[in-house]
Structure 1
Amino acid sequence: MPLIFSPLILLISLLIGCLYRPIVSENGFVTGRNDRILLLTAHPDDECMFFAPTLQALVKAPVEQPTFHHQKIFSSAAYKSPTTQVYSLCLSTGDADGLGETRRLELARSLDILGVESSDRWLVDHPELQDNITSQWDPTIIAEVVRPYLLQHKFTVILTFDFQGISSHPNHQSLPSGAAHLVKSLSQVNADTAPRLFTLVTVPLVSKYTGFLAPTLVKLDLLLPHQFKWLLIPFLRTFDATAGISRIGAQPVFVSGIPEYATALRAMYAHQSQLVWFRWLYVLFSRYMWVNEWVELAA
């Protein structure tokens, strides 16, 4: 009988081991030279529903950097240099249901849990940037709203949604256009003042809801030598349908462990007004509670 259960016990131990330790791929956007990183979101709760693995990795203190096989991997706690500053700018109060003031307070509690300092976060209530699930925001207005924050704090990196917006929300989809518009305008005046722009990769539906399997698959993808990649199930890896190549290992990848996932859950719990049944399903099964993959956009 013990022999029958041995493979199962080994599998469970491997899974727990993969889930517990957070890691970050080496090819990232922290240089260690006065990095000032802005997370640009559309609504309160975006920060924990989609970006928690990245935020938690960036706000932690440095530790020793382990190396696995051919590729150097950081633990998420190793990613922040002493000069890294993390900021958050949310472009609406999420007032679609008249709960703007409530959601403002919920966002503050969530960012407290995720470790973003109160002096380094802002929430905007602009008449042309209101929570709306049927229309996109004007990129020029987004650029003009973000510009004064960028000029004052001299961000070196902007992180935001990609053009699919993860959930196809039009407000999410507007952010990369607005950020790209701002970066391009700054580049034309002085390339040295323009930050790098990274967008969070929208994965195929079959990958989006792999839940706790996602970090295990991504870690195997990061750690396995190239000749063993075929061992992974291709449709469970992040796949770029446009370029036809996997993004894993080529762009920054943040993978949470169990403690980080628990922190993300606590941050989500701060958004009491949003805790309807389908959001509970989301936090249980979403890849983005565990894994963030990024791609840099050219100016």
Structure 2
Amino acid sequence: MKSIFLVIVFAPLLMWLLAFAIVSASSPKAEHLPICPGSGKKRKNVLLVVAHPDDESMSIWQSDQSLHFNKKKVLTHISRFFAPTLLSLTSLGCYDVRVLCLSNGNAEGLGSVREMEMLSACSFLKIPLENVDIINDPLLQDGHNVAWSRSLISQLINRISTCHNIDMIITFDSYGISGHPNHVAVYQGVCEFLFDNERTSVKQKGSQIEAWKLESVNFIKKYSGPIYVLWSTWRHINTSNSHLFYSGSPRSSIKAMQRHKTQWLWYRRLFVIFSVYTYMNSLHRFPV
């Protein structure tokens, strides 16, 4: 009976450790990514749109449209959720990556500390500081009970996209990984922007912006980490409408999160170690 108990307890742990070793030792070839521009083509301008700081960011757009420098929380979203995508894109050399964070999340009053943390994280993820924008608008404040305006989000995305000739947008899906209403609002704002962009493109005969959303998974998949990565890799075939991004080295995702010392609490350490988003991102194209 005792041996059965030990098997039940330690078998999943051994499976997880084995999967972690396999995933850590394997680094998928970046050149096989289907959404990378072909040789001779111009670099693609990519915009990652997130809800809260703990990412990488540099400039804040206030509602009066004056510019300020602040680098707050953005990297937490990027480190916790989007690190595999960013590490892959920045390593390819054929993408210029920008980040748009729709709130500065200064609720705890640690803005100046997180500025330095964010600078360190941005540098680690190879995203230039001038490529990160954080919005500080009274209508887009961090909170579960704050309703964000989809039209305002769409306008902000349009402004960034126009200024920087954005070719591709990456963001949350309709559930927003954790179900946070701000995440969901980001998805809805991107949808509204894409709808408006499609109408404008048809009228002006311009090119449409393609958009990809990060797949939300259930609790078991989310916290099985490298085990789910191996399963997904085995059964997944990259297509024009879906793609898997790997971090290459899970330690890189973990190190990026470690740059945010004020956020590096014990439960976030567990999240980063066990979360599938540390190891892999599954992106799906927005329907055209």
TM-score, structure 1 length as denominator?
Answer: 0.74
State how far apart, in whole Å, the 2-side matches of 1:180 and 1:36 are. 19
| The one of 136, 144, 149 aligned to 2:155 | 144
- The residue number in structure 1 matching 2:121 is 110
| The one of 285, 289, 297 aligned to 2:274 | 285
Conserved? CA contact 1:15–1:216, under 8 Å: no
- The residue number in structure 2 matching 1:169 is 180
Q: Say whether 1:268 aligns with 2:260.
A: no
Query: Which stretch of structure 1 is more off in the superposition, 25-34 or 266-275?
Result: 25-34
State how far apart, in whole Å, the 1-side matches of 2:188 and 2:17 are. 43
Q: Say whether 1:23 aligns with 2:28.
A: yes
State how far apart, in whole Å, the 2-side matches of 1:222 and 1:92 are. 34
Per-residue deviation, 1:153? 0.8
Distance 1:16 1:281, change over 3 A: closer
Secondary structure of the structure 2 residue equivalent to 1:23: coil
Secondary structure of the structure 2 residue equivalent to 1:163: coil
Distance 1:142 1:28, change over 3 A: farther
State how far apart, in whole Å, the 2-side matches of 1:14 and 1:153 are. 40
**Letter paired with 1:20:** A
- The residue number in structure 1 matching 2:231 is 217
State how far apart, in whole Å, the 2-side matches of 1:103 and 1:137 are. 24
State how far apart, in whole Å, the 1-side matches of 2:178 and 2:17 are. 31
**Letter paired with 1:23:** P
Per-residue deviation, 1:216? 2.2
**Letter paired with 2:250:** Y
TM-score, structure 2 length as denominator?
Answer: 0.77
State how far apart, in whole Å, the 1-side matches of 2:240 and 2:176 are. 22
State how far apart, in whole Å, the 2-side matches of 1:188 and 1:24 are. 37
Distance 1:24 1:175, change over 3 A: farther
State how far apart, in whole Å, the 2-side matches of 1:291 and 1:252 are. 10
Per-residue deviation, 1:107? 2.4
RMSD between aligned residues:
2.6
| The one of 164, 189, 199 aligned to 1:188 | 199
- The residue number in structure 2 matching 1:88 is 99
- The residue number in structure 2 matching 1:255 is 246
State how far apart, in whole Å, the 1-side matches of 2:239 and 2:195 are. 27
Q: Say whether 1:298 aligns with 2:287.
A: yes
Q: Percent identity?
A: 26
**Letter paired with 2:211:** L
Q: Say whether 1:124 aligns with 2:135.
A: yes
Query: Which stretch of structure 1 is more off in the superposition, 96-105 or 124-133?
Result: 96-105
State how far apart, in whole Å, the 1-side matches of 2:268 and 2:124 are. 19
Structure 2: 5+ residue stretches without partners = 1-13, 53-73
- The residue number in structure 2 matching 1:53 is 84
Conserved? CA contact 1:139–1:181, under 8 Å: yes
**Letter paired with 1:16:** A
- The residue number in structure 2 matching 1:99 is 110
